[in-house]
Amino acid sequence: MHYTPSPQRYDTMKYARCGRSGIKLPQVSLGLWHNFGGVDTLENSRKMIHRAFDLGVTHFDLANNYGPPPGSAETTFGMILKHDLKSYRDELIISTKAGWEMWSGPYGNFGSRKYLISSLDQSLKRMGLDYVDIFYHHRPDPETPMEESLGALDQIVRSGKALYVGISQYKAEDTKRTSEILKDWGTPFIIHQPRYSMMDRWIENGLTNVLREEGIGCIVFSPLEQGILTNKYLNGIPADSRAGKEGTFLPRERITEEKINKVKQLNEIAQQRGQTLAQMSIAWVLRDPVVTSALIGASKVEQIEDAVGALNNISFSDDELRKIDSILF
């Protein structure tokens, strides 16, 4: 199947500056955490990436351990890139990460210089790339000195293997320190990737202020709370959903009756706004300008189309925000 991107791909997507950097990101980005690995079909993965790019989604987010099995999402993406998007590489922002367990032994996890640099070398081979646009430390390492992990990020940029660096799930105080260290070294630290949704607001307790003050971009993952903040579970747990499958990161017991009752009330507000619940959930995380992009996962093309449709209305009245808070808290 030959792929030619839509000539109108930049006509409707909205882009936001990533902190005080020179980079703009699409306000909806596609994460390849699930549904792009070795247990999924290449054809469906291709369809989703093609459609995303046609809609102006230029940012594709990966990590060394994405799959399953680990590494397979990068391999799949590398195949699609080679066959379909190679001539459009300079239109894409491709990111990957390291920080979670990837290979056996003491050097395949967390934040040592050896692990981070070795992992990126493996990722580049899997994707067939000379460099990534953004390389993240995927999580804080409580035992490795921060200066070692950040020194690896600095070396990675200076070696030409990444253009920019980021961090994920660092708390506010560690993000502030990271910014100070990397700014002193002249390392292009431009982005933080935290978890954030209407149901998970930890970043509001200090982190968003740090990002705003330091001029760091923010791309939030799980804005749909792994599918809970969609219409997927309004009438039970579908067999093909994350909660309906074994071995996923969304156990069935998290889909409680109390939670679904709240989701149904949120869905009513979304309908009044002329949006799906997924669209309202994405719009909600983007309501604060400190959030550069919402990182979504998808298992089908229609979910990507729906997510991008959220950008038609990302403003909320004070009354709507109060109603949402009264439902959730």
Residue 326: per-residue pLDDT? 98
Can you read off the two tokens belonging to residue 182?
């990397």
Q: What is the mean pLDDT of the chain?
A: 94
Residue 109: per-residue pLDDT? 98
Quote the CA–CA distance of 259 and 235 in Å, as a whole number: 12
Residue 106, classified by CB atoms within 10 Å of its CB into exposed (0-12), middle (13-18) or buried (19+), is exposed
Give per-residue burial for 136-162: e unless 16+ CB within 10 Å, then b: bbbbbbeebebeebbbbbbebbeeebb
For 84, which DSSP code?
I
Domains in the chain with CATH codes: 17-228+278-315 (3.20.20.100)
8 Å CB contact between 298 and 35: yes
Residue 244: per-residue pLDDT? 44
Can you read off the two tokens belonging to residue 54?
């046609």
The pLDDT tens digits for 192-213 are: 999 999 999 999 999 999 999 9
The pLDDT tens digits for 237-261 are: 655 555 444 545 555 677 778 888 8
The pLDDT tens digits for 55-111 are: 999 999 999 999 999 999 999 999 999 999 999 999 999 999 999 999 999 999 999
The pLDDT tens digits for 4-62 are: 999 999 999 999 999 999 999 999 999 999 889 998 999 999 999 999 999 999 999 99
3-state secondary structure at position 45: helix
The pLDDT tens digits for 152-208 are: 999 999 999 999 999 999 999 999 999 999 999 999 999 999 999 999 999 999 999
Quote the CA–CA distance of 175 and 145 in Å, as a whole number: 14
Quick check: pTM over 0.85? Answer: yes
Quote the CA–CA distance of 316 and 44 in Å, as a whole number: 34
Q: Does residue 313 have a pLDDT over 70?
A: yes
What are residue 191's DSSP bridge partners?
166, 217
